[in-house]
Amino acid sequence: MELLKEFECGCGRVHKALIGEVIIGYGIMEQIPDILEKYNAKKPFIVSDINTYQAAGKELAKVLDNCNIDYSQYIFKSPYLEPDERSVGSAVMHYDSSADIVIGVGSGVINDICKIVSSVADLPYIIIATAPSMDGYASATSSVNRDGLKISLPAKCADVVIGDIEILKNAPEKLLKAGIGDMLAKFVSICEWRISNIITGEYYCEQVAEMVRKALKKCVSNAAGLLNRKDEAVRAVFEGLVLSGIAMNYAGSSRPASGTEHYFSHIWDMRALEFDTPHDYHGIQCALGTYYTVIIYEKLLSITPDRKKALNYVSHFDYEDYSLKLRSFLCRGATEMINLERKESKYSAKKHSERLNVIIQKWEDIKEVIRQELMPLHELEKLYYLLNLPKTIEELGMEKTIAVQTFKHTKDIRDKYILSRLCFDLGIIDEIMD
């Protein structure tokens, strides 16, 4: 897959891709010795878990053994890893200081861990993907759990991303669904990026957005073949996920690839950490978050902003009381979110009034963006039926009321203008999820 490492854009910025190269095809494992030679690497440190070792790690070891290439490896014994302090620390403690390159064999969690290890060790990094399940392969951050909060930690971007179609298409079905779920989230992310540009003046690049749109369209066009493990469908999802990571590089933020729908998932992960409540793969949760988000956006199309109602709602909003509810819902994770508000002051009446003026003035433009960017709900439902993706929180083992509370708290996770902030500004956030 070819990509532009650096180019000047009409948006006024110079876009840079931090990733070295992306190799997608068949029989790529046999190319590993040549790739190592390219980086002048003599001894890789390989990280996998017991599942990804079987999927690709064993074959990698065989290829290296046949070429008499020395290596060390660490295999996590648990198939259910969390990207937290314990897992990262375990990988670091098993790190071989004589290694001169890091190779991750896996998908989301393994990749997040290895990006941190290679960053700390200041070594080149190769990720051999075992599933087309998430969009972090080409990003320069690791999505980790730290002190109970889901955060994006700066880390090393992979020098090489390897996607062998034969390996990817044999991933567990749920990981295939997670991958398409993470791609469908891009409907929302691009929509919200444009809306934030209208309301807050946030930077937006049409060329980067269009790159993501094209990848998403290709995924949707091939969706019927995904669960049948058709090569073109699996390739479309994997390429789309990698391109989404590159788009984030280009934009200098996660805007092209995540929004409200991702924050549904982050909050459910945070609650699972605190209360051992049910949770699922990130992409599966993003799929449900996308479905809920599209429902709410369609509701907004029939709403006319009411200045008096919005101002009245904000004037009676009790942040101290809200903070207590936030702490009750998330415990440790709420602390960072409350600290973030001290920097943002997004709940201030003055800032709200300024945003509301723009919203009312630009309401028709905002609605047009919603119509242009989001797949209509009736079409999305057909796609979810085809892919057997969840449309209710009960399907993930959680109570319905959790969805309502989650949506209200999505606005507090990052300094990013998203749907829940728009609903707050309109004074309808308490009613819109009914």
Write the DSSP string, 128-144: EES-S--S-TT-SEEEE
One pLDDT digit (tens) per residue for the chain, 434 residues? 667 788 999 999 999 998 999 999 999 999 999 999 999 999 999 999 999 999 999 999 999 999 999 999 999 998 778 888 999 999 999 999 999 999 999 999 999 999 999 999 999 999 999 999 999 999 888 888 887 777 888 899 999 999 999 999 999 999 999 999 999 999 999 999 999 999 999 999 999 999 999 999 999 999 999 999 999 999 999 999 999 999 999 999 999 999 999 999 999 999 998 999 999 999 999 999 999 999 999 999 999 999 999 999 999 999 999 999 999 999 988 998 999 999 999 999 999 999 999 999 999 999 999 999 999 999 999 999 999 999 999 999 999 999 999 999 999 999 999 999 999 999 999 999 87
Give dist(CA 292, CA 297) in Å, integer.
Answer: 9
The secondary structure of residue 71, as a DSSP letter, is -
Give dist(CA 299, CA 260) in Å, integer.
Answer: 16
Q: Which residue has the tokens 């990804």?
A: 52
Interior/surface letters 93-117, b for 16+ CB within 10 angstroms, e for the rest: eebbeebbbbbbbbbbbbbbbbbbb
Give dist(CA 140, CA 283) in Å, integer.
Answer: 19
* Token reading at 7: 């180019």
Give dist(CA 162, CA 38) in Å, integer.
Answer: 15
| Start-end of CATH 3.40.50.1970 domains in the chain | 6-170
* Token reading at 205: 């690049």
pTM for the structure as a whole:
0.94
Give dist(CA 115, CA 71) in Å, integer.
Answer: 18
Cα dihedral 79/84/86/91 (nearest 10): 70
Neighbours of 377 (CB within 10 A): 14
| Start-end of CATH 1.20.1090 domains in the chain | 179-204+255-426
Fold (topology level) of 6-170: Rossmann fold (3.40.50)
Contact 19, 159 (CB under 8 A): yes
| CATH 3.90.380 is right for the domain spanning 179-204+255-426 | no
Q: How far from the centroid of its chain's Cα atoms is residue 98's Cα?
A: 33
DSSP letter string, 314-376? HHT--HHHHHHHHHHHHTHHHHHHHHHHHHH-TT-HHHHHHHHHHHHHTHHHHHHHHHHHSPP
